[in-house]
Structure 1
């Protein structure tokens, strides 16, 4: 039985090749959704699909979310495959390179903004256009993955924290723009989660952060994915522009 009632729905997840994105794909597939796993690394998307129940009904798509042409090609590809647009979107693709602020180049800055913020914009815009052009009653739901660091900041991650702050603002503006068209937009703010993204953080720093997390541990990707699934589902039908913190109490 599907707790979130996603049986037969099509869900598109960016960053689906690993981490929170992969966990979302697993949770959504468990709930009966047909999942389009999108990532810049096609091999990891195929690996994710192989992990999903009923893998034959899911689809792997290589996409560079920072490139409009790549995004549009991806949407055409899975629309051709399924014959209908997705009604659920998770914008989880993101990068977080670390470097001292004074050493951060303009190129590094723009790369992070392009993937994390521009990518969320491009995916959301293409998703919205395709859903609205599909005809009939529109019922869509989008969840963007921001970060608790958008609120707290962190040295040597200035491009990342700035981009994730932008994701929060974009979420709220899109939520206001799209709700009367039948599309809800919300976001999650994960704390320290055991994903490849935290690998650049040294062990000493990780232990330091653990001490200020009230729950005393890092989170699991599936703990974030469950919150995302809730926001995508009709069980959160009166939540619009909400930003849920999944942090073990960090920064509360």
Structure 2
């Protein structure tokens, strides 16, 4: 089966350089080479081993057969549908992304419990290639081991990220709930932005909590008005007429500049 997939790689990438894993006694690693060259070498080695190791328990010719089967299957598929390959993807540069390579090194260091070096490597990665929710979450988890100013800065940065999907939204919600003391150090705009992200049925209670806390602190009127409008629409969608009216009235007063009491 694996040989069959390798045959499909030959058909797809041909002379394009792709990454291969290798091992030689105790040495392992990755090399980049044309698919046709390396996989052709692989099949040649299987045939050679078949004739030079006749008493081996390895089914060398089964590997060769799988390769031939994969070649025939991909050829038949291409004859039936030329668009079976995403040629735009195949023509892209297949070289390793340096940022992904550094990130893999961070994960490797974490697996070895070398948290200090992992954090140092991650900071260098963020400085060189920019930040993302995944990278900041990693930094948050690493600095959480020894809470200090670096942890607080990472926590602030993480909560200011805009989630791109439900998983990331759940992550931000979880981080906020894990650190209730952060509210007193996070600026109003960041809290409002977070609450706006959380105005969904699953996290509406937390969004309300943030709104109520900001209201008690007499936060910026316009920012609270925007949040109140979003909460109003959310409760309207849920059929909660009372809360819809409460937040809608607050938003109207905020926009008109009236009293927010």
Q: Which has the higher strand share?
A: 1
After TM superposition, is the score higher than 0.5?
no
Which of 1 and 2 has greater Rg?
2
Greater relative contact order (Cα < 8 A, sep 6+): 1
TM-score by structure 2 length? 0.22
